[in-house]
Amino acid sequence: MTWASKRQLLYSSIIIIIILFFCYLIVKPFINKEPTCTDGKQNGTETGVDCGGSCSRACTLEVDEISVLWSRVFKVVDGRYNAVAYLENHNPNTAIKKISYRFRFADKDNIYIGKREGETFIPPGGKIAVFEPAIDVGNSIPVYVSFEFTESPTWIQVSNDLINQLQISVSNIRLENENSSPKLFATIKNTSLFRIPEVSFVVILYDELGNAINASHTYLELMTKEEVKDISFTWPLPISDKVVEKEIIPMFDIFSAKLK
C-alpha cells in the first residue's frame, strides 16, 4: 500500500469515526431513555404501568374502592329536597381531583322520579359528604335514593406532609331554634399556612339512634392562612326529631391549596 493510500485510508477512518460518534449521540437518548410516568411502560420505580412509585398517579390495584355508607334526601320545603351521599375514602394517601357522580330518586313504590348528576373531588382518607341542594321533584315524594360514580377514578398520591399540614378544624358547634327556625353556628379555622379556595361545609344532624335526620351546607370562596371564621347553616322548617349529634365535614380540593 502506497503512502497516499494509507493517508486516504486514515482520513476515511477519521471521517467514519466522526460520523459514528454523531450517530451515537443521536441514537443514545432513545437507547438509554430515562423512565417517565408517561412512556406506557412499567419501569423505574413504578409498581404498575406509569403509576405507583415516584409517579403521581397511584395504581388502581393498590387502592381500595370508595364506600358509599348511605345516601338520603332531606325535605327543605314542599317539592324540594337536599340529597346527601355519605362516603368513606379508605386510602389515607390518595385522592381524586375530579370524578362524576349520579343520584337517582324513587318514590315509596320504587317508581323512578328523577336524577341529579354532578362532579366532585375526593380528599385523601376519611369521611366525605357529597351534597346536592334544592332538588325539584314536583308533587312526588322521594323515599329511595341511590348514589354512584359514573366514571372510573384516577387516583393521585398525596404526601403525608401535605395532608398533615392542610387541616381545617371545627369547634364551638351550637344549634338554636330547633323547633321553629333552626340555625346552626360553628367556628372554623384553617390551621395551615396555605390559602385554600372554594371550601364547602356539610352539616349532618343525627338522632339518638345515630340516624341522619337532616343536613345543610354552606360555602366560603377562600380561607387564607391560619384564618378563623364563624359559619352558619339554616333550615326553613323545624327539625321534627330531637338532635343528639352534629357533624360538620369540611370539603376542599387538596390540590388547589397554595402557599403564597
DSSP letters along 36-100, please?
-TTSSS--TT-SBTTBSTTSSBPPGGGSPPPEEEEEEEEEEETTEEEEEEEEEE--TTEEEEEEE
Domains annotated on the chain, with CATH = 37-158 (2.60.40.3230), 159-260 (2.60.40.3230)
Show the CA angle centred on residue 250, arms to residues 190 and 84, nearest 5°: 170
Mean pLDDT of the chain: 89
Determine the pLDDT at residue 40: 78
Average pLDDT over residues 133-140: 92
Task: Name every residue whose Cβ is closer than 8 Å to that of residue 150 and which is 6 or more positions away in sequence.
Answer: 100, 101, 102, 117
Query: At residue 260, does pLDDT exceed 80?
Result: no
Tell me which of 202 and 46 has the higher pLDDT. 202
Closest CA to 183 of 197, 198, 173: 173
Determine the pLDDT at residue 58: 92
DSSP letters along 192-227, please?
SSEEEEEEEEEEEEE-TTS-EEEEEEEEEEEE-TT-
The pLDDT-based confidence of 53 (bands split at 50, 70, 90) is: confident
CA distances from 196 to 22, 143, 173, 205 (A): 51, 36, 22, 26
Total count of residues recorded for the chain: 260
- Residue 122 has a CB neighbour count (10 Å cut-off) of 25
Q: Please write the tens of the pLDDT for every residue from 158-210.
A: 999 999 999 999 999 999 999 899 999 999 999 999 999 999 999 999 999 99
Amino acid identity at 129: A
Determine the pLDDT at residue 24: 58
